[in-house]
Amino acid sequence: MKLLHKISTIALSVFISGAMASCSDFLDRQDDGKLQEAEVFNKFTEVEKLVTQLYTDMYNRSRGLELLYSHNIGTICDELEFNKADSDAPYKILNGELSADPSSISQVNGGGWWWEQYQSIRKANKIIWGVQNYNTPDHPSKPGLLKQRVAEAKFFRAYFHYMLLRWHGEMVYMDRLASPDEDPATYAIRESVHSSVEKICKDLDEAAADLPVQQSGMEIGRIDKGTCLAVKTIVRYIAAQPLYNGGESGVSPLGNNDTRAGAEEYREFKSERWNAVLQAAEEFFTECGNRYSLYSKYSETDFVDDLNDKSKSDRKVYTRLSKMFSDVDFYLTESILTLKGGKDTRWIQDNLPDRNDFGGQTRNQPTQEQVDQYEYIVGDYGYSIFSNEAKAGGYDDENPYVNRDPRFYRDIIYAGAKYQSITYSPQVGGEDEINHSTLRDGKDTRTGYALRKFVYEDYDKEGSVTAMFFPLIRLPEIMLIYAEALNETDNSEAGQKVYDLLNEIRTRSFMKKVPEAVKDNKELRREYIQRERRVELFFENNRYFNLRYKGIPTSSEELLKEGRYLSLSSDGDERAQKWVENGNGEYPQTQHYIHGMIPVSDPNGKVAIGSGKYKMKRIEGKQMVRQFTYRNYFFPINSNEIAKTPSLKQNPGW
C-alpha cells in the first residue's frame, strides 16, 4: 500500500496557514494585498503549496462513501435505506425538513454547498492570477512544472463549478477575481447551464493541453489529461439530459414551478447537445484510451473463500470484484479521479449487520429497487428479472438469489448469504431480523439486505484499515456515457459499438453478455445501458444525480405507475407483492416508496438459512412516505447568500 500512501500524501498535504485567505463565500472580495502576495508568488514552492490545497478541497467537497454526515447520498434516493447514526440527516431531507436556512443546512452537512465551492474557486482564481501577475519562476530543475500547476488550478476551477452544476444547477461562473470595488449585483447573476458548461469545458480544454496523458514518478496522484477530458464528458452529458434539454416533450420536470434563468431554453430539445457528448467521449478515448484499462486481476476460479479462513461466501464472491477497490493497480489503471475517503475500520463496522462479531448497525442498506437491477443469467446472456426470458429460464421471485449477476454477490448481503462467520438471517426470530418499526430506531435492516460493496472481506473489528480510497470517476462511467451518446445520436455503428462496450464492462465482472437483440433495438439498448449504470456504479454517488438529470421522479409515466401501484391495496406489503405478481416490472421511480424482501418460513421453500427453509416475500418500507417534489431537483443556496446578494435568486421551491 506504499503507493496509495504516496497518493494520499500528495493530495492531502496542507500548506502553511495564512498563505492564502479562505473567504467565507465568493462575494467576500477582501483586499489580499496584506497577505504579502509577492513573497508567495515569487516562489514556485509556495505556489505549489497553494495548488496542493485545492486537492485537499476536492476531498472536502466531493465526499465518497459518506456524504450526509455518516450516510451515503444513495440513502435519499431509491438505492439505499438508512438507520440513524451520528445524525438523522437523510430523514430531515426525506421528510421535507431541510430548508435554505444556514442552521438547517448545517444539520445535514452535505458535501456540495454553494459557498464551499466558491471558496475553492476563489483559491484557484487567486493562483492563476498571481502566477501571471507576479511572473512566478518555474521549478529550477524541472522546467514546465509551473505550467502544469496552473493547469491543475484551471482544472479545479472547472471541477468546483461542476460540483455546483451537480448540486445547484445554474451558477455564476467565476473565472476571475472580483474587485472589492465591484457591485456584486453586476456579476452575481446565475446564468443558463449551457453557458456555464461551455466555460467549464473551455477551462478543461486549456488544462488538458498543458497536462500529460499520464503522471509518473513523484507526480503520480495529480491531475492528468484524462481527468480533464473525463470531467468534460460528464459535464456535456449532464447538459444533454432532460433537465436541461427538452424535458418530457418540452415540459420541464419542475412543471409550472420552473423559475430557473434558462427555463425556456431547457424546454427545447437540441440534438447537437448529444453530439457534443459523443465528441467529448470520443476525444477522451482518442487522447487517453491507452492510458486506462479495466481492472482484470485474478481469474474466474478465484473467490474470496480462498483468501483466508475468515472470508466466506460459498465461493460466490469473485476475488477480482472484491479486491479491485483496495488494489493499487485499480487506481493506476481504471480510476480516473480518486478520493482519499478517510474512512477506517469503524466505517466498515457500522455498515455490517448488528452482530457481536462486528458491532455493526447496517447503516446503508440496499433496497429491493437496487437488488432488482441485477440480471438473471439464462445460458449465455443476462436478462432483467422481470423479462419473459428470465421467467422462462427459471427465475423465481420466491427464490431470487440464484444465477444472478456476479456483482450482486459482491455488493449485497442477502438472506442466507455467508459473510465471514455468519449466515445472514433477516427472518422473524433471526439474528438479523428485519426492523418493522416506523420510528428512527434500531440497528437492524429495514429492507432485508446489508451492504457488501466497499466492505473489506477480511474485516477485523480488532484490527484497523488505515486507507480507504474511493473512485470519484472511473473508466466504466465514461464507457457508459459513450454508449448512451452513440445510442441517442442514432450513430450508424451504435448497435455494434454499444453491444461491445456493455459486454466489455460485463466480461470484466464475469457477467454474461447482453442479448444479440440489443444490436438492432434502440429502446432495448437504452434499457441495458441504464441497468448497467445502476449495477456497475452502485453506491458510487451516481444514481441520485442521474435520476434528477433525466427528470424521472416527476415524469408522467412514473406518476401514473404510482397511481396504479397505490390502487392495488391500502396495505403496503400487499401491494408490494401484487405489483410484481401482476407483471408490472420495476416499482415506480417517484422516490416516494422503497421496498425490500423478507424470508417467510415454508417447508417447501428453496432459500436455506441455517437449518430452516424459506420463501421470499416482498415488503414496502415502513418508516415514511419519502418526500419528493419539484424543489428536490436541486439543493438550496443558503439564505444568507441570497439576503446579501438578491441578484443570485434562489432555486425553485426553496
- Tell me, what CATH number does 247's domain have? 1.25.40.390
Identify the pLDDT of residue 341: 63
Q: Are residues 236 and 314 in the same domain?
A: no
Q: Are residues 56 and 145 in the same domain?
A: yes
The pTM score is: 0.94
Q: Are residues 394 and 249 in the same domain?
A: no
351 in any annotated domain: yes
Max Cα-Cα span within the chain:
80
475 in any annotated domain: no
Question: Cα angle vertex 62, ends 59, 65, to 5°?
Answer: 95
Long-range contacts of the stretch 183-187 (C-beta < 8 A, 24+): 184/27, 184/29, 184/644, 184/645, 184/647, 185/645, 185/646, 185/647
Q: Are residues 232 and 349 in the same domain?
A: no
581 in any annotated domain: no
Q: Are residues 347 and 439 in the same domain?
A: yes
Domain that includes residue 431, residue range: 304-333+343-462
Q: Which helix (DSSP H) or strand (DSSP E) does residue 472 occupy?
A: strand 469-474
Backbone conformation region of residue 246, classed left if phi is above 0, alpha if psi is from -120 to 50, else beta: left
583 in any annotated domain: no
Q: Which residue, of 406, 430, 462, is where some domain finishes? A: 462
- Cell matching residue 13: 498535504
| Beta partners for residue 121, in sequence order | none
Q: Can you tell me the distance from the alpha carbon of 65 to that of 54, in angstroms, rounded to the nearest whole number?
A: 20
Complete DSSP assignment for 521-572: -HHHHHHHHHHHHHHHTTTSS-HHHHHHHTT-TT-HHHHHHHHHHHHT-SSH
Q: Are residues 286 and 423 in the same domain?
A: no
Q: Are residues 61 and 176 in the same domain?
A: yes
Q: Are residues 277 and 401 in the same domain?
A: no
Q: Are residues 256 and 317 in the same domain?
A: no
Q: Are residues 319 and 290 in the same domain?
A: no
Q: Can you tell me the distance from the alpha carbon of 557 to that of 542, in angstroms, rounded to the nearest whole number?
A: 22
Q: Which residue, of 462, 478, 501, is where some domain finishes? A: 462
436 in any annotated domain: yes
Cα Rg of the chain (Å, integer): 25
Question: Are the beta carbons of 631 and 654 closer than 8 angstroms?
Answer: yes
Q: Are residues 178 and 67 in the same domain?
A: yes
- Cell matching residue 495: 448497435
**Whose grid coordinates read 435505506?**
81
Number of folded domains that form the chain: 2
Question: Are the beta carbons of 90 and 68 closer than 8 angstroms?
Answer: yes
Q: CB within 8 A of 226, min separation 6: which ones? A: 213, 214, 284, 287, 288, 291, 292, 336
**Parts of the chain with a pLDDT under 50:** 1-32, 34
- Cell matching residue 627: 418526500
286 in any annotated domain: yes
Q: Can you tell me the distance from the alpha carbon of 120 to that of 56, in angstroms, rounded to the nearest whole number?
A: 10
Q: Are residues 142 and 195 in the same domain?
A: yes
Q: Can you tell me the distance from the alpha carbon of 223 to that of 152, in angstroms, rounded to the nearest whole number?
A: 6
Q: Which residue, of 425, 445, 462, is where some domain finishes? A: 462
548 in any annotated domain: no
43-58 burial code (b ≥16 CB/10 A, e <16): ebebbbbbbbbbbbbb
Which one-letter amino acid corresponds to residue 650? Q
171 in any annotated domain: yes
Q: Can you tell me the distance from the alpha carbon of 97 to that of 116, in angstroms, rounded to the nearest whole number?
A: 22
